[in-house]
Amino acid sequence: MNNTNLTYTATTLDQDTFLRDILSAKLLLSHSLVVRLKQQNKIKVNGYTAHVNYLINAGDIITIDMDLTEESKIIPEPIPLDIIYEDVDFLVVNKPAGMSTHPSRQGGTGTLANAVTYYWQELGRNTLFRPINRLDKDTSGLILIGNSQFAHQGIFNQVKGRTIERSYIALVEGLMANDSGRIDQPIARQDDKSRRRIVHLDGHPAVTHYQVLDKYPGHTLLSLRLETGRTHQIRVHLSFLGHPICGDLLYGCASPLIDRQALHANKLRFTHPRSGKEVILEVPLAVDIQSAINHLVK
């Protein structure tokens, strides 16, 4: 893997600009991250540790060592990982159904966070687990993880700007009337004690796009794209339409075809904050969802 340094060579336009302004405007570093970098002497100009009020000269080479010392409280566990993509900034894993993304309590085990922490530990790294997107325990598919605070921050701006494309495939109950559509319905908690969410006028804005891929007896296969990222968004929206996801016990009912909700995060598209290049990742449909479809087409 490449080193974790960020570098920037000052131009004549940067002459007499404060270093802190270069860090913010040109390297897109947040104030909180700059504070941590200062504390660990990770900011250098022309090879020497520099203060953020340093006045830049044209030709100055600014180097930021992003390898910050961090302390993870996640218990490492040797759980196999299906790694789809990895570079100095990001790790993308194809999470299996039945695995939570993060422990629900301190000291919890058996989650993706535990597995990734162990993987990093074996590489000699003590990195915090920073998932960019999260999947429900019984939803399978792609999860994007930031390897550093820089990576997490850089991609967060895309999440906020809704420029990351997250696509899913779902097998739903019933036959959809329209071949495509846009579900624009706000989502709120049902109550303070329940995990369940509902469509409610006082909820947070939520938008889901869907496209019919195929139809089977009593079921429809959909491709879905999230415009927002509310908890249980796809599950809530599809249930609201009267087409709950097959096997979804919380928003629908049990199914003889599959023993979890038939929802799979199959595609990610984002712009890499370091290189500016587009990254497109895709994985096949989960085996149990494909088996359910095979049963329907017999």
Is residue 264's pLDDT more than 80?
A: yes
Is residue 65's pLDDT more than 90?
A: no
Q: 14, 60, 136, 248: which is the annotated catalytic residue?
A: 136
Question: Fold match between 5-65 and 162-298?
Answer: no
Element (H, E) at 24: helix 19-25
Please indicate whether residue 192 is annotated as part of the active site.
no
Q: Are 154 and 274 in contact (CB under 8 A)?
A: yes
pLDDT band at 2; cut points 50, 70, 90: very low
Could you tell me where the DSSP H helices lie in 94-181? 112-122, 149-160
Residues of the chain with pLDDT > 70, as a percent, come to 97
pLDDT band at 4; cut points 50, 70, 90: low
Angle at 98 between CA 95 and CA 101, to 5 degrees: 50
Residue with tokens 């090879």: 47
- pTM (two decimals): 0.79
DSSP-assigned beta bridge partners for residue 186: none
Is residue 1's pLDDT more than 50?
A: no
What is the signed CA dihedral for 257, 260, 264, 265, rounded to 10 degrees? 170
pLDDT band at 282; cut points 50, 70, 90: very high
pLDDT band at 69; cut points 50, 70, 90: low
pLDDT tens figures, 166-191? 999 999 999 999 999 999 999 998 88
Which CATH class for the 70-161 domain? alpha beta
Alpha carbon of 30 to those of 41, 174, 273: distances in Å?
A: 16, 47, 14
Is residue 33's pLDDT more than 50?
A: yes
Q: Which residues of 160-190 are buried (b: 16+ CB within 10 A; e: fewer)?
A: eeeebebbbbbbbbeebeeeeeebebbbbee
Is residue 37's pLDDT more than 50?
A: yes
Q: Are 201 and 187 in contact (CB under 8 A)?
A: no
For residue 3, what pLDDT is reported?
56
For residue 124, what pLDDT is reported?
86
Nearest to 141 by CA among 264, 230, 233, 224: 264
- The pair phi, psi for residue 31, each rounded to 5°, is -60, -45
Q: Please give the CATH topology (third level) of the domain spanning 5-65.
A: 3.10.290
Residues in the chain: 298
Q: Across the chain, what does the average pLDDT equal?
A: 91
pLDDT band at 34; cut points 50, 70, 90: confident
Is residue 235's pLDDT more than 60?
A: yes
Angle at 89 between CA 64 and CA 60, to 5 degrees: 20
For residue 268, what pLDDT is reported?
95
What average pLDDT score do residues 27-35 get? 80
**Distance from C-alpha of 91 to C-alpha of 186, rounded to nearest angstrom:** 31
What average pLDDT score do residues 135-139 get? 95
pLDDT band at 61; cut points 50, 70, 90: very high
Element (H, E) at 289: helix 287-296
> Residues near 125 by Cβ (< 8 Å), separated by ≥ 6?
none
Right CATH number for 162-298 from 3.40.50.300, 3.30.2350.10, 3.40.140.10, 3.90.120.10? 3.30.2350.10
**Type of residue at 295:** H
User: Hey, where are the domains in the chain?
Assistant: 5-65, 70-161, 162-298
What average pLDDT score do residues 22-34 get? 81
Residue 193 vs residue 267, higher pLDDT: 267
